[in-house]
Chains A and B, each alone.
Chain A
Amino acid sequence: MPRSQLAAILAVVAVLGFLFALQVRSEATAQLYLTGQDNVTLGLLITGLSQANNRLLLARVDLSDREAKLQADLNSAGGSPDALRAELFQLQVVNGVVPVHGPGIELTVGFNLHAFDLQDLTNILRQIGAEAIAVNGHRVTARTVIAEANGKLLIDGNPVSAPLRVDAIGDPQALDDGAQSIVASLSPRGSTGLLQVPAIHIAAVAPDRPVVYSSFPQ
């Protein structure tokens, strides 16, 4: 057999071998990627993203509504700032700087919690749509410092102890459904209670957080 033909055969075999290796490698990589996230994690991601997207859909409706009201205010003769005031109140509620009222749930816990317990609890309440939260009369947002010192639970430096009463304003049914898992996880440790309440009043506001280091470019 001529050398050139032999070389051609070897070249083809080498290319095929390379393609073969590439194919096996890509299959293995694909498999690794798929098994990188187990089905439970993927299921949790689907639940969490669905909840988040539902909230974004609500937010889009609310924002479009506000846009229409602002346009109406602009078109009115006096240029009433009602729509602006509505936005201000909403931001004040989010920041926890004004007292609030509305329907929601009241969760009671008859025993002392650790800081991480309360962090988890309030974290879950925000996840399921709580718009305002108070624990034993202290306003809690995602910026609240929940800590423990000398065995005492502290909320923004204020000691709190059992019995704990957690007020959360939001869709009562959604909060009640979501809070069932909290009650189920806490109830083996002592008495717990969960009630839907038509009108919750939260008078407490979050402490002032002075702005010293930040600037806010347009």
Chain B
Amino acid sequence: MKDKPTLWTFLPGDNVTRLVTVLAITFLLTAAVTAQIKAQVITPSNQVARNQELVNSVQALERDNSGLRAQIGQITGSVGSLSAQLAQRSDAARAVEAQINQERQLAGATKAEGPGISVDLAAGRDPKNPGDTRQQWQVGYVDLQDVVNLLWSAGAEAIAVNRQRVVPSSSFYVAGQDVLLNGVHLSGPYHLEAIGDTARFNQVLGDDNNLADLKSRSELYSLKLAWQGERDLRLAAFDGAFVVRYAVAGQ
């Protein structure tokens, strides 16, 4: 009895030729479907290319920033070593070096350790409201500034945000929901650490009169605002440099 004809038997050639034909058709079909879906996924305009160029620029600037910090770290090390050598030359130099060390500690230019508190801030649930321009479920630079200000008011001796020290010349630069602190790009979730009186920190953070807006948004959007006492915080030194070119000490 003869086999019933199938699609396979309609294909020309021997079995190997048929197999190659099926594979070729499968590949072409897959490629066609992929191309079609890709066309739907990718915005059919120059927008992506433009956006990519901006991303490339940001990444290049961040690389430069990191490189410059590393160079500054090296020169700072050399300056410290030369200062220490000079301080051995005279009592006057030794006295000045001791004052420098004290000012460097105050400025945040040295590592700092001690008890204190850590505060975590993270974006909450996006309610996906159309036309939501305020994006109150996000954590912004204002929130960071408010928490840092509150910690200073409670006697913080040293503060860091995502390992970046807040120093007297620091500024929070807003870039959408991200910030630049000391020129370093930070984005949420944010982890703040402050050395000082843990009980006092707990008290001011727990006071309903403080950070009222943040606490209300935390309830509304499940935005994360949490803190806990820390026994042994270790904060890195400020890794930038102070620029003083116009201000002269003295009246």
Contact = CB atoms under 8 A, between A and B. Distances in A.
Interface of A: 1-2, 5, 8-9, 12-13, 16-17, 20, 23-24, 27-28, 31, 34-35, 37-46, 48-53, 55-60, 62-64, 66-67, 70-71, 73-74, 78-79, 81, 83-85, 87-104, 116, 119, 123-124, 126-127, 129, 131-132, 141-147, 169-171, 201, 203, 206, 209, 211-217
A24 B34 contact: yes
A58 B245 contact: yes
A49 to B, nearest CB: 4
Count class of interface residues, chain B: 35 or more
A84 B96 contact: yes
B243 A58 contact: yes
Contact of B37 (A24, A83, A90, A211): A24
A210 B48 CA distance: 53
Contact of B61 (A20, A49, A58, A142): A49
Interface in B44-77: 48, 50-52, 54-55, 57-58, 61-62, 64-65, 68-69, 71-72, 75-76
Contact of B246 (A127, A170, A206): A170
Nearest to B174: A44
A48 B149 contact: no
A5 B15 contact: yes
Given A64-B75, A216-B112, A90 B242 contact: yes
B168 interface: yes
A139 to B, nearest CB: 10
A46 B57 contact: yes
Contacts of B89: 74, 78-79, 81
Contacts of A213: 114-116, 157, 195-197
A195 to B, nearest CB: 16
Interface in B16-43: 18-19, 22-23, 26-27, 30, 33-34, 37-38, 41-43
Contact of A214 (B68, B114, B173): B114
Contacts of B146: 116
